[in-house]
Amino acid sequence: MGFKAWYDAHVMPRMIRCACSAPGIMDRRASVVPLASGRVFELGCGGGINQAFYDTDRVTAFAGIDPSPKLLDYAREQARTKGWDADIRQGFGEDIPFGDERFDTVVCTYTLCSVDDPARVLAELRRVLVPGGTLLFLEHGHSPDAGVARWQQRIEPMWKPMMGGCHLTRPIGPAVRAAGFSVEPIGSGYMPRMPRWASWMEWGAAVRA
Ligand SMILES: C[S@@+](CC[C@H](N)C(=O)[O-])C[C@H]1O[C@@H](n2cnc3c(N)ncnc32)[C@H](O)[C@@H]1O
């Protein structure tokens, strides 16, 4: 196994879980994830961090996909801890292995930054949602402040290979709207105690128009 394969298999999943569990991020998850209800699909469910926040009185079925075997191990362990019957599969958001209009809620947190093709993934998320279904999103991305955005552009080439292909400069709200969702209102802001180039976040409940 070469260094990159070893790093991606063993180091990067731990770094991702650690970075994605910062206190400000956990607070924000706690305001978004419990809104999920009915049949729920989580994109990029690896790591399993969100599972603690789902309200099992509201969720009737849970499915999730992620491409990373190591992060999927964490997600399956979380499902065992939670004691619920979760359908967790390996897969990519660009080609979601579920039929059309299968879910009432789709949850997507800190994943659009890492996928290869965000527009295609958002189209897939729309496809698997019932009409009127909700996409709950919480993502980091392109800062509206020019100075911060310049730092994001400078740091991104070093950050991406260390963090599993995570981009710092992707727009969030505009991408969600362009995919055929209505998003009102959208929450946004920098997370406390994090560098501004990594902590511009946008979140909301987007309805499949
Ligand atoms: C920064 S981690 C966030 C994990 C989790 N969503 C969370 O909120 O803690 C990014 C996740 O996106 C996953 N990912 C990367 N490319 C993907 C793709 N094409 N489709 C679905 N998930 C992908 C990674 O394996 C990883 O689990």
**CB atoms closer than 10 angstroms to residue 118:** 24
Nearest CA to ligand 1 atom 27: 46
Scan for tokens 């969100």, then name that residue. Answer: 50
Q: Judge whether 142 and 152 are in contact, CB under 8 Å.
A: yes
| Burial of 138 per CB tally in 10 Å (0-12, 13-18, 19+) | buried
Identify which has the larger pLDDT, 178 or 6.
178
Residue 8 has pLDDT above 90, yes or no: no
Q: Judge whether 65 and 90 are in contact, CB under 8 Å.
A: yes
Among residues 195, 182, 165, 134, the alpha carbon closest in space to that of 67 is found at: 165
Q: Please tell me whether the peptide bond between 185 and the residue prior to it is cis, using omega within 30 degrees of 0.
A: yes
Tell which atom from ligand 1 comes closest to the C-alpha of 93.
20
Write down the CATH superfamily of domain 3-208: Vaccinia Virus protein VP39 (3.40.50.150)
Scan for tokens 């491409």, then name that residue. Answer: 67
Distance CA 141, CA 144 (A): 9
Give me the helix-helix angle, 69-82 and 12-19, nearest 10°: 50
Residue 46 has pLDDT above 90, yes or no: yes
Q: Distance from the CA of 47 to the center of ligand 1, in angstroms?
A: 8
Q: Residue ranges of the domains in the chain?
A: 3-208
What residue ranges line ligand 1, CB within 6 angstroms?
Answer: 16, 20, 43-44, 46-47, 49-50, 66-68, 71, 92-94, 109-111, 114-116, 164, 166
* Cβ neighbours of residue 155 closer than 8 Å, sequence gap 6 or more: 168, 197
Residue 83 has pLDDT above 80, yes or no: yes
Average pLDDT over residues 201-209: 96
What is the band of 61 on the pLDDT scale with cuts at 50, 70, 90? very high
**Which tens digits make up the pLDDT trace of 104-120?**
999 999 999 999 999 99
**Which tens digits make up the pLDDT trace of 27-40?**
999 999 999 999 99
Q: Distance from the CA of 109 to the center of ligand 1, in angstroms?
A: 8
Distance CA 70, CA 74 (A): 7
Q: Distance from the CA of 71 to the center of ligand 1, in angstroms?
A: 9
